[in-house]
Amino acid sequence: MTTRTRVLLTAALLAPLALAQPRNANVFKVDFTVRDTGDAGAKAGRKYSLLVNDRVKSQFRVGNRVPTPTSDAPGNTSYTYLDVGVNIECIVVEADGKIGMHADLDLSTAVNSDKNPQRAPTISQIKLNIDSTLTPAKPTVVASFDDPVTARKFEVEATVTKM
């Protein structure tokens, strides 16, 4: 393949992405910090950041696919794969010096049984839908809750900064 062909092919593949992006759009950096306030050693919390165009949904996904047995027929076990980890979808809108933010956060983990490793894992999940108005560049607690299963307390802080 010649260099010219490679350049034309790359341009053809990237053209739809360039057209989908709004021109001269405001870009924001959105930082989320999730703290387990019941854990003295985790005061800093876990941090997640993404760049978001004004009025365009952005997604952040990181994690694993965990196999879960769906049938126990002897010698013929089938599996379903579950996505666990951190999934964030975010939209921001700027108006009158404030920033409106809608965010969907899905934080999940899979816990395997110590007694029976063949058993399907238990999925622990925190799912939040947040609609909030934020002051630019000011960290704001947008959610705070007690885990109904454990004694843990969680706090979600968001900071939106115009780039």
Q: Is 5 within a domain?
A: no
Domain of 94?
A: 24-162
- pLDDT digits 0-9 by tens, 39-86: 665 667 899 999 999 999 999 999 999 888 777 667 777 888 888 999
CB atoms within 10 A of CB 60: 17
153 domain residue, yes or no = yes
Number of domains in the chain: 1
76: in domain? yes
Does residue 105 belong to any structural domain of this protein? yes
pLDDT in tens, 22-45: 555 689 999 999 998 776 656 678
CA distance 139 to 158: 6
95 pLDDT band (50/70/90 cuts)?
A: confident
Q: Is residue 140 part of a domain?
A: yes
Instruction: Note the pTM of the prediction, 2 decimals.
Output: 0.75
Contacts by 117-120 with C-beta closer than 8 Å and gap 24+?
118/69, 120/68, 120/69
Domain presence at residue 144: yes
